[in-house]
Structure 1
Amino acid sequence: MSLGGVARSRLAEERKAWRKDHPHGFVARPATSPDGTVNLMVWNCCIPGRQGTDWEGGSFPIVLTFSEDYPSRAPICKFPKDFFHPNVFDSGMVCLSILSQDNGWHPSITVRQILMGVQDLLDHPNLADPAQGAAHRLFIHNPIEYKQRILNQAQLYKSAI
């Protein structure tokens, strides 16, 4: 089986498992191509803000883009451009150890684990590995303004998909 075949086979299995059982409030579905076919290599997802946090009430859109090398290579995970968080680049790309090819990625990591890991990152940023200077500085030096930005972002993304 070719690498792309392995990737698609694994993603088809993950889709089946997700449809049977997934965390409440989360959305993860393959994109639909212009011709109406399912594109298993790109998933449109939403991550709910965890209850009891400043992120609560938001449903944050994120796209997972898989390569033909998946699961040997981690997917690219991106929020919308300019998403406000210390561990999200201005491009929207998420900076998370389990998504790092050199640091924490392992082929056994599932879509479910990725999305749950990103949800955890929202409220528990890794300040040792900042990707967005402005969010990082606010988190450290002006927590009240940081909290307000997060509350505003949760309002902005009340219903994303």
Structure 2
Amino acid sequence: MAFIQRLVIHFRELQKNPPPLCYAEPENPSKSMIHWVGWIQGPEDTPYAGGKFRLTIDFPADFPYRAPEVRFVTPVYHPNISVTGEICLDILHSQWSPALTIR
């Protein structure tokens, strides 16, 4: 359950210092800290401007040694996002490190 404590720490850090144009939080923190929802606001001057894109973030029991599974719920047309919403970035797969944070 140490990973739950780490998720709580990550969540508090996100609340104090949220990244621009996005937000993430546990979907139901009183019930479970391992399933989060997030949103990314489409940046200005891009094809995504004005869009709000919903994500799900699921943390494995061996987090932080294994990356969370992050998927777009809102359909997004992007070369690094599969038709099922999976984000195809090395940092979420082969380049993941326990030293990384959710931010």
| TM-score for the superposition, normalised by structure 2 | 0.89
Structure with the higher strand share, 1 or 2:
2
Determine if the alignment matches structure 1 residue 40 to structure 2 residue 36: no
Alignment partner of 2:44 out of 44, 51, 67: 51
Compare relative contact order (CA 8 Å, sep 6+) and give the higher one, 1 or 2. Answer: 1
Aligned-partner Cα distance in 1 for 2:81–2:75 = 8
Residues 51-78 of structure 1 deviation map (CA, whole Å, 9 limit, x = unaligned): 2212121111111100110000000011
For the 8 Å contact 2:55–2:74, the answer to whether it is kept is: no
Larger gyration radius, structure 1 or structure 2: 1
Q: Aligned pair 1:23/2:16, yes or no?
A: no
**Cα 1:20–1:26, aligned 2, differ >3 Å: closer, same or farther?**
same
Please, which runs of 5 or more residues in structure 1 have no aligned partner? 113-161
Q: Is there any run of 5+ residues in structure 2 with no aligned partner, and where?
A: none
Residue in 1 that maps onto 2:62: 69
TM superposition outliers: structure 1 runs of 4+ over 3 Å: none
What is the match of residue 108 of structure 1?
99
SS where residue 63 of structure 1 aligns? strand
Q: Is the 8 A contact 2:39 2:54 kept in 1?
A: yes
Q: Deviation per CA, 1:32-59: give whole Å up to 9, x if none.
A: 17xxx24210110001112221212111
Deviations 1:68-105 (A, max 9, x none): 100000000111275322221222111111001xx210
Letter in 2 for 1:94: I
Q: Between Structure 1 and Structure 2, how many residues are aligned?
A: 103
Residue 92 of structure 2 aligns with which residue?
Answer: 99
CA RMSD of aligned residues (A): 1.7
Deviation at 1:25, TM superposition (A): 3.1
| Greater fraction of residues in helix | 1
In the alignment, does 2:2 pair up with 1:11? no
Distance 2:92 2:63 in 1: 12
